Amino acid sequence: MAEPNILLTRIDNRLIHGQVATQWSGTLGANLILVANDKVAKDKMRQGLMDMAAPAGAQTRYFTIQKTIDVIHKAAPRQKIFIIVETPEDALKLVEGGVPIKVLNIGNMHMAEGKRQVATTVAVNDEDVATFKKLEDKGVKLEIQRVPTTAKEDVSKLFS
């Protein structure tokens, strides 16, 4: 069975968000944006808002983490998939469930209690760091990059 054509998986706690989604989709050449998020999969209103922010020419899907695991291998080769998740934990669940994620873009992880700012738009706590370590151990390449036009930041910042 052919692997699904996953161009990139991104952590962004805003999920599909304005210019960010448009810039990434355009740069990647994605025609399917898959939001893998248990809450959003049940929230038609948030889906509608995200559809408005989604770039023209890309389809959107809002699946639970489990449904993403269940259906990703049925994707057609012509589907150029850009997966967006909210947290590193969700990304790890996908990888553990057999979703062939090779590169994980760490985009936005907002500052919150107990988190420390490690990059321009990335704040992590110890649990996040442990999760990133597990992802690396599973062969996932981590990249910190806000938008395609900004430089990638040093991933070792996550672990310092």
Which active-site residues does the annotation give? 17
The single-letter DSSP state of residue 108 is: E
Q: Is the distance from CB of 147 to CB of 159 less than 8 angstroms?
A: no
What's the rounded Cα separation, in Å, for the pair 24 and 127? 27
Q: Is the distance from CB of 39 to CB of 90 less than 8 angstroms?
A: no
* Residue 113: burial class (beta carbons within 10 Å; 0-12, 13-18, 19+): exposed
| Bridging pattern class, strands 116-119 and 122-124 | antiparallel
What's the rounded Cα separation, in Å, for the pair 109 and 139? 22
